[in-house]
A and B are shown apart, each in its own frame.
Chain A
Amino acid sequence: MRLLRFLAERRAELALLVGQHVLLVLVSAAIAVAVGVPVGIALARRPRLARPVLALANLAQTIPSLALFGFLIPVPFIGGIGVRTAIVALVLYALLPILRNTCTGIQQVDPAVLEAATGMGMTGGQRLRLVELPLALPVILAGVRVATVVSVGTATIAAAIGAGGLGTYVFRGLATVDTRLILAGAIPAAALALIADGLLGAVQRSARPGRAAAILAAVTVAAAGVALLARAPGASRAVVVGSKNFTEQVVLGEILAARLEALGFAVDRRLDLGGTSLCHAAVRQGQIDLYVEYSGTALTDILKRPATSDPAVVLRTVRDAYAAMGLRVGSPLGFNNTFALVMRRTDAEAKSVRRISDLAPHAATLRVGLFGEFLERPDGMPGLLRAYGFRFALPPREMDLGLLYQALAEGKVDLVVGSATDGLIAALDLVVLEDDRHYFPPYDAVPVMNEESLRRHPGMLEAVESLAGRLDEKAMRRMNYAVDGEHRRPADVAREFLASAGLLSR
């Protein structure tokens, strides 16, 4: 019931997300059919070619979707951030079942029937239209059905590159440990998948599948066309604000966006993008104009330089290296979001653990939860263990950032790697262990801006710089908790902060 009320409250936004989701699926399915069916027919005529092409399509399907989005960002014309890239990826995934089924469907038409058709004097086109396609249609439709249902699921990932859709709720829900949000995205997505499956199943079973498929295709193309036209007046002159896919980043994105709007800029929000490298690639390509990065992350993760502990040195190094890439690093916003090892307060007190070095005697039994990135980062787990000279006996459990604290609070793990400003630390009665050997480099929050964007949007730099030094750890943690703990909207939290700091007006 609470979920229903929640959905009712957000019905306008929900309708928008469902619309975006349906559009992503329709457009990509239509393109996949338009490409896959003719190519499938051509492959059926050239079996020698069919094998390598199908192998290639198969390969495309094995690429994890986030990785595929990552590959696509720097590709000209089809890449970047947003709907277009998402559609390209969805088409790549949908292509295989359609190609394979078209090819198989055409090939399995009885050769005797084909010979008779030719012998009766059918032209190649008549044979295809009157004999091969109708006989292959059930198999082709089965392929389209699989492709479409899979697309409904995969389209949720599209939110990671700013293409919108129901994945927006899923990702935001995961980031804020808000089950209602996750369900608000997942349930409609599942319903869409069932509807698509049912509709295409009905076409397959109908007495005249050819006519039914034609009607459905016409409706699809018309709907996609209308929706695309409705979208067309895009905010191309707007400043595009990006963020990574966790609460603090979304709040920071909303703060930047609201501040820019207060100063009269039109703003396009591309929040919840799937991770550091995605955001970095996007700002370098100019797909987004700015986002907030952390100095330590930029140093070790992007520039691949060794970690150092002096914040001023880190900032200077990053600023110089970024300038060479056409990126401007603004002044720090005022808080340091360093990594934090976090435990349940009761557990930490029982084990007398206050500092990271206190963990050594318990390293054999502690169950550690972390997000996958931390295992790979130069300032991540391997260096941490070297610096403190112990190893965890149990392999760490990898999970999404948003699930870590929940797992810790529920006792599924005993220690998680989070960040110092996470709002749930106070809310769930957790403690941050002191980094007594100063292993973690500083992670000062700094706006990263594309130089080209600064030229295109005069006054943008001043607007962003007006936030310099205005945000301390306490304020950030409080805002994070307002979203994670109190389930408030990041946009509202950001506006409240700006209002209280006197930054909502010129």
Chain B
Amino acid sequence: MGLGRPAVTAAVELVDVRKRFPAGAVALDGVSLAVPEGRVLVLLGTSGSGKTTALKTINRLVEPDSGEVIVLGRPLLAWDPIELRRRTGYVIQEAGLIPHFTVERNVALVPELLGWPEARRAARARELLALVGLDAARFAPLRPAQLSGGERQRVGIARALAADPPLMLMDEPFGALDPLTRRRLQEEFRGLQSRLGKTVVLVTHDVSEAFRLGDEVAVMDRGRLLQRGAPGQIRESPQPGFVADFIAAALP
């Protein structure tokens, strides 16, 4: 799609990335994209489109077979994967909170792994809980099982932000929520993002969520990136074929 190098510095860049899983399915079939610093890129597609795989190449949960991934100015292979992940916020569907940790310890997990002193960790956890709209005094000592889905997802976001990473990777972060809660969290995410200015790569299959949250949207299907642009651009002139059908089916 004639993706040229962007003018501003790219926080994340994928160049012709390919990945085939042992079972034989092609997950990524030559994907190239760049995310400018401080912008939100949404990877949009159906399940099996390769969007999650693409996301996971960025924090080396998936190793590409070929191609190049550059994160925060360094080629992927030059990163120690552990250090890379600690500098990358990661949010997944259902939050993936550690069930036997308290909310506070979950939020302060990356600071704990980074060896922050206890007092600083606790203060940071409370600060972040407040940031995602949870009453720190009430929620800090609870276990994930005692929270609602929305509360768990907020804790998941707080956890990803804990060590103030420049880059956030979010895999269907609001996927498991009821429509009302989802809508509210999306609004809060936008507010948060405008204040924090993180670079975000967000994966979703929800077209309206993609248009609402993305500075740019990249539509993927069967391991390929089909179209990329600002939400309005894709809404107004979707590429004929899969992209047009997908958008039309989702937006009446």
| Interface set of A (CB-CB < 8 Å, partner B) | 110, 112-113, 115-123, 126, 130-131, 134-135
Contacts and interface: CB of A to CB of B under 8 A. Distances in A.
Q: Interface centre among A112, A118, A120, A131, by most B CB within 10 Å?
A: A120
A121 B86 CA distance: 5
Q: Interface centre among A117, A121, A122, A123, by most B CB within 10 Å?
A: A121
B85 A118 contact: yes
Nearest to A111: B96
Given A120-B85, A120-B86, A123-B82, A115 B61 contact: yes
B61 A120 contact: no
Closest A-B pairs by Cβ, 4 of them: A116-B96, A121-B85, A121-B86, A119-B90
A121 B61 CA distance: 10
Nearest to A130: B98
B63 interface: no
A118 B98 CA distance: 11
Contacts of A135: 99-100
A44 to B, nearest CB: 18
Contact of B83 (A117, A119, A121): A121
Nearest to B87: A121
Interface residues of B, number: 24
A210 B187 CA distance: 41
Nearest to A209: B100
A204 to B, nearest CB: 14
B92 A112 contact: yes
Given A121-B83, A123-B82, A116 B92 contact: yes
Contacts of A131: 98
Contacts of B110: 120-121
28 contacts: A110-B96, A110-B99, A112-B92, A112-B93, A112-B94, A113-B96, A113-B97, A113-B99, A115-B92, A117-B96, A118-B61, A118-B85, A119-B59, A119-B85, A119-B88, A119-B90, A120-B85, A120-B90, A120-B113, A121-B82, A121-B85, A121-B87, A121-B110, A122-B82, A131-B98, A134-B100, A135-B99, A135-B100
Contacts of A116: 90, 92, 95-98
Given A115-B92, A130-B98, 13 more contacts: A115-B61, A117-B98, A118-B61, A119-B59, A119-B61, A119-B88, A119-B169, A120-B86, A120-B159, A121-B86, A122-B113, A126-B113, A134-B100
A236 to B, nearest CB: 50
B10 interface: no
B69 to A, nearest CB: 16
Contacts of B109: 120
A119 B156 CA distance: 12
Nearest to B144: A113
Contacts of B96: 110, 112-113, 115-117, 119
Interface in B59-103: 59, 61, 82-88, 90, 92-100
A123 to B, nearest CB: 6
Contacts of B159: 120
Contacts of B94: 112
A449 B63 CA distance: 69
A457 to B, nearest CB: 61
A119 B98 contact: no
A117 B101 CA distance: 12
B157 to A, nearest CB: 12
Contacts of B59: 119
Q: Interface centre among B85, B88, B98, B99, by most A CB within 10 Å?
A: B98
Contacts of B95: 116
Contacts of A119: 59, 61, 85, 88, 90, 92, 96, 169
Contacts of A115: 61, 92, 96
A135 B98 CA distance: 9
Contact of A121 (B93, B97, B113): B113
A495 to B, nearest CB: 63
A118 B85 CA distance: 8
Contacts of A123: 82
A130 B98 CA distance: 9
Nearest to A135: B100
A134 to B, nearest CB: 5
Contacts of B61: 115, 118-119
B164 to A, nearest CB: 14
